[in-house]
Amino acid sequence: MIFDPALLIVAVLIAIVLFFLLKDVTKLIINSILGLLLLFIVNYFDLMSYLGQPDVNIDVITVLMCILGGIPGALLVIILQALGYSV
């Protein structure tokens, strides 16, 4: 079997790209879970009632904002709800 250095280089490059993609995906998943957990905590402890607003509606749009935005997305949803805009 003939050793091909180009094949080794391509394999190493693919491994490096997969490593960085999986590392970023892991961060995205953790941030999404923490954003959804933040919304759950705000609703569970009824924290919006201190501002005179109803609970945050957890629907498809709110969940998508938390999944794509993570904690900043959840904070944006909470701030918009506190200002009277329902998402």
Each domain of the chain, given as residue ranges in start order, spans 5-82
Place of tokens 């759950």: 40
Distance of CA 2 to the CA centre of its chain: 46
50-82 pLDDT per residue, tens: 988 889 988 999 998 988 889 999 999 999 999
pLDDT of residue 87: 64
In terms of Cβ atoms closer than 10 Å to its own Cβ (0-12, 13-18, 19+), residue 25 is exposed
Convert the pLDDT of each residue in 13-51 to its tens digit.
888 888 887 888 888 899 999 999 999 999 999 999 998
Q: Long-range contacts made by residues 59-65, C-beta under 8 angstroms, separation at least 24?
A: 61/87, 62/87, 63/36
